[in-house]
Amino acid sequence: MYEQDDLVYDSRRPIAPYAHTRPTTERPWVKWLLIGIAMAFMLAVLVLPLVLVFTEAFRKGADAYFAAFTDAQSLAAIRLTLLVAAIAVPLNLVFGIAAAWCVAKYEFPGKTFLTTLIDLPFSVSPVVSGMVYVLLFGAQSFLHPFLRANNIEIIFAVPGIVLATIFVTFPFIARELIPLMQDQGNGDEEAALSLGATGWQTFWRVTLPNIKWGLLYGVLLCNARAMGEFGAVSVVSGHIRGKTTTMPLDIEILYNEYNFAAAFAVASLLAMLALVTLLVKTILEFRYGDELAGTRRH
């Protein structure tokens, strides 16, 4: 590549042609300073808190740690979190593919508007997302007499939590697929159709295999957020213990009850989920980097 000399800056040396570092290469000390700052920042802001979660969780020993998971209310919170993710993620999977398909494969009026709308949950504060549902389905809303008459509970019950979670995790899969599908174009599908495949056959045998890794990646992110969402869920939950508290809300309650070991034990479970997600994501990127190319762009 280039000579060792290129990387050493010496002010006493006369400036000879090519002797100086290239304009596109920083001085070494700049490079190491930048790397150092980035590393220190990551250590302080990401790694240290993560380590603390686990040390706090085990502060009172392994027994206290595992006791946290036998508590009926924490178990209920874990169950509810899994239920919410099990409903929200498949729904967003279907929506995400449909939306990405629309945006990537067709031209239609209002396409830019649709793309912007998909991003809305990213730009709106989760608290606002929750409040919107309270306004829409709460006791002061115009829908309430109808809901009440039909004995349908949405806010302060499981459906409200599911709705809020869907809203917040809405864009993850669509945002993952849109650039990927745009990159791939319509060629494969057109070939399949012209060879006599039906719409469904084309989808299952051509489109889906093309996008599967990007899709899996989107599902992972969507799932992590669905389980970890706090703000929007907090607004619509009503905080009924053992009934409408998800894991993040349970952590807050335990912390407020001075039950720090249990709070951090449940927190460590959530953190582990994040780590596993990250691990799977890294493996996917490593093995199927090419097919994920579209995802690197944003």
How many beta carbons lie within 10 A of that of residue 134, not counting itself?
A: 18
Are 89 and 223 contacting, i.e. CB atoms less than 8 angstroms apart? yes
- CB 210 → other proteins: shortest distance, Å? 14
Are 93 and 168 contacting, i.e. CB atoms less than 8 angstroms apart? no
Tell me whether residue 95 or residue 288 sits nearer to other proteins (CB atom): 95
- CB 220 → other proteins: shortest distance, Å? 20
CA angle 108, 166, 112 (to 5 degrees): 20
Residues 6+ apart with CB under 8 A from 189: 105, 202, 206, 207
- CB 169 → other proteins: shortest distance, Å? 14
- CB 285 → other proteins: shortest distance, Å? 28
Give the side-chain half-sphere CA count within 13 A for 189: 18
Tell me whether residue 84 or residue 284 sits nearer to other proteins (CB atom): 84
For the chain, the first-to-last Cα distance in angstroms comes to 30
62, two tokens: 């392994």
Residues 6+ apart with CB under 8 A from 77: 242, 245, 246, 247, 249, 250, 266
Site residues (CB under 8 A) for other proteins? Answer: 83, 87, 90-91, 94-95, 97-98, 101-102, 105-106, 134, 137-140, 144, 148, 151-159, 162, 199-200, 202-203, 238-243, 253, 255-258, 260
Tell me whether residue 155 or residue 269 sits nearer to other proteins (CB atom): 155
- CB 75 → other proteins: shortest distance, Å? 16
Tell me whether residue 91 or residue 274 sits nearer to other proteins (CB atom): 91
Tell me whether residue 58 or residue 255 sits nearer to other proteins (CB atom): 255
